Amino acid sequence: MSEAVAVHHGNFGRAAVYNLDKPILLHAHREAHLIFKVDGGDAIVNVGDVDHLVRKDKAATVNPWQPHSFGLNDSPSCVTLVLYIKPMWFLEHSKSVEHALSFGESSLKLDDRMMEYVARLANFLLSDENHERCDDMLYELMNLSFNLSWQGNDNNGFLDRTRRHYSDFRVRRAIRLMQENLSEESNMEDLARECGLSRPHFFKLFKRQMGLTPNLYMNTLRAERAIEELMKTEKTVTDIGNDLGFSSQASFTRFFTSNVGIPPSDYRRVAYAG
């Protein structure tokens, strides 16, 4: 059974060591995403309909809101170090807007220095020490990964790519409505109508603007809210699921496991809030 071995929340986002033994279906995150192998078998991360092998010397990167899925490569399980980096945190620690968080490649060939950082970070997260001390190492690994992803690529036009998002007022309205109605069963036909569009036109426009379907976007918002409630409140898992519109704890647990990789009760048990 897949499990979280350690989870650390901080100003940067979150870092986790997962022991994964089953696939994670297509999903997305607001944060940038890096996946490194720590132990066990190799894994495969699908980004943009392309499979990328994750092994000791190869990592996968995922841009904010970019749909991706996880699978095992002929192995029973894989222990991974997974980083979820807030774009604004990365920007605040960088020298200019040119360093805003968007990876140039979805697959990275790691050098010895980067593999050492991965091992040290994983060991640090698994220790009982103050996890705040790992932030410097985390940023260094993140910065090395970012720079490596752009070697041989043109790191220009970030603002142009950003302007394509949210440029249509109907997409902005849809996002606002989703954020205001996380506790309600999502009906995309009603949402499209609220935005003055047919359902097919709405899906096409939303995916062109945001890079993912409105269903995936809504699932991301609900998963984020669930993580926040698990970390910051004493609500039961059942109550959190009910607040998000799930009919039972079982349906909420299935949703959370599909989007995060582990059950919500396990996430709360091992998570450390920094």
Phi, psi of 261 (to 5 degrees): 110, -15
Q: What is the pLDDT of residues 115-132, one digit of tens each?
A: 999 999 999 888 866 556
What whole-number percentage of the chain has pLDDT above 70? 87
What's the pLDDT score for residue 240? 95
What's the pLDDT score for residue 129? 62
Is the pLDDT confidence value at 22 over 80? yes
pLDDT averaged over the chain? 86
What's the pLDDT score for residue 196? 92
- List, in order, residues 6 or more apart from 28 with CB less than 8 Å away: 65, 66, 67, 68, 212, 216, 217, 219, 220
Task: Please check whether residue 78 is in contact with residue 55, taking contact to mean a CB–CB distance below 8 angstroms.
Answer: no
| Spatial separation of the C-alpha atoms in residues 21 and 71, rounded to whole Å | 9
Task: Please check whether residue 41 is in contact with residue 54, taking contact to mean a CB–CB distance below 8 angstroms.
Answer: no
What's the pLDDT score for residue 158? 46
When mean pLDDT is compared across 21-25, 81-85, 164-168, 193-197, the lowest value belongs to 164-168
What's the pLDDT score for residue 239? 95
Is the pLDDT confidence value at 154 over 90? no
Q: Pick from 247, 253, 250, 255: which is nearest to 265 by CA?
A: 253
Q: Are strands 3-10 and 13-20 parallel, antiparallel or unpaired?
A: antiparallel
What's the pLDDT score for residue 5? 86
What number is the average pLDDT over the span 17-32?
90
What's the pLDDT score for residue 165? 55
What's the pLDDT score for residue 96? 47
What's the pLDDT score for residue 159? 45
Q: Pick from 170, 228, 230: which is nearest to 202 by CA?
A: 170
What's the pLDDT score for residue 274? 45
What's the pLDDT score for residue 181? 86
For the record, the structure tokens of 94 come out as 């960088």
Task: Please check whether residue 94 is in contact with residue 55, taking contact to mean a CB–CB distance below 8 angstroms.
Answer: no
Is the pLDDT confidence value at 41 over 80? yes
Q: Residue holding tokens 């349906």?
A: 251
Task: Please check whether residue 223 is in contact with residue 258, taking contact to mean a CB–CB distance below 8 angstroms.
Answer: no
Is the pLDDT confidence value at 21 over 60? yes
Vertex 117: Cα angle to 65 and 228 (nearest 5): 40
What number is the average pLDDT over the span 185-214?
89
When mean pLDDT is compared across 40-49, 132-141, 184-193, 244-253, the lowest value belongs to 132-141
Sign of CA pseudo-dihedral 244, 245, 248, 250 = negative
